[in-house]
Amino acid sequence: MKQRSALDMYANGTAWWETSISNIKKNEIIIRGYPIEELIGNISYTQMLYLLLCGKILSEKKAKLLESVLVAGADHGPRAPSIAAARMAATCGISFNSCVATGINVLGDVHGGAVEKAMHLFYETGSLLDAHPEKELSSIVEEKFVLFQREGKKLPGFGHQLHDDDPRVRRLYALAQRFIEEGEIKGRYLAIAEAYRTQLERAKGKKITMNIDGVAAAIQCELSIPAEAAKGIFALSRGMGIVAHAFEELQNGVLIKGPCPNRDDLVRYSGPAKRHLEK
């Protein structure tokens, strides 16, 4: 997207803020063309999220599938950096919303960014399939995989440091397969994700599982969600867990809990030996 200054755009006749999302007037709230009173009580939180983001109302079944992704990513315990940060912030006496913001702000390319990376990969692979209908999916995936290896990149959406049979993945995959059978989604991107898993497994010579990021990415691609929105959606999902953990830690009444216990073996000094200023 070309970068332009707000003043230049305004001088050329563009409104200072221009949005196709909402139109707010006295006693009237319009969201993507729908009066808010018609949406309240008639669509779900997940349908509202998709409407705001993509401009359409998902069918109830598709919304349930997206909601399942939000539920799956809600919490992964204090081992997760975002939750650990929120809990630690809660012990520092700051406001509750600041504790939640602390956890949310930890989410980025490293922690929480794999879904976006996987979605870009899956969408790109789908585009290559469209551009080269004479090629098999396995051939395109192999070419992309070799490129990843050559560039020293990690394939996003596969493997986990703790789980080798993630219950979240099994459940989401089963739900997605059911919706494929019912014709709600096509299954194209789930097939692409599975092709990458198979390729990685062949290269590693051992069993490789798709992780929560991989299956969440494939499902969101099936729903035509922009890859660039993935981190924001994950923030909404993990935000639920962050809220719960920060609130629990506030109730504990513990103050100034650092990132690790006060043990010498957990924090190691590697600087110069003790020394003194020259007199």
Judge whether 173 and 219 are in contact, CB under 8 Å.
Answer: no
Q: CA separation (Å) from 66 to 50, 63, 221?
A: 9, 5, 11
Whole-number pLDDT of residue 2: 66
Whole-number pLDDT of residue 89: 97
Closest C-alpha to 237, from 90, 36, 67: 67
User: Rounded CA gap, 210 and 212, in Å?
Assistant: 7
User: How many CB atoms neighbour CB 7 within 10 A?
Assistant: 9
User: Rounded CA gap, 40 and 62, in Å?
Assistant: 19
Q: Walk along the chain (279 residues) in steps of 10 and give the mean pLDDT of each run.
A: 73 85 98 98 98 97 98 94 96 96 96 95 97 95 93 87 83 95 97 96 90 96 98 97 97 88 85 94
- Cα 153–Cα 157–Cα 162 angle in degrees, nearest 5: 105
Compute the half-sphere exposure of residue 205: CA atoms within 13 Å on the CB side of its CA: 0
Domain ranges of the chain: 1-42, 58-258
Label each residue of 106-165 as H, E or C. HCCCCCCCHHHHHHHHHHHHHHHHHHCCCCCHHHHHHHHHHHHHHCCCCCCCECCCCCCC
CATH class of 58-258: mainly alpha
- Cα 43–Cα 176–Cα 64 angle in degrees, nearest 5: 15
DSSP 192: H
Compute the half-sphere exposure of residue 246: CA atoms within 13 Å on the CB side of its CA: 26
Q: CA separation (Å) from 88 to 45, 77, 107, 123?
A: 30, 13, 15, 38
Output the pTM of the full model: 0.91
Whole-number pLDDT of residue 232: 97
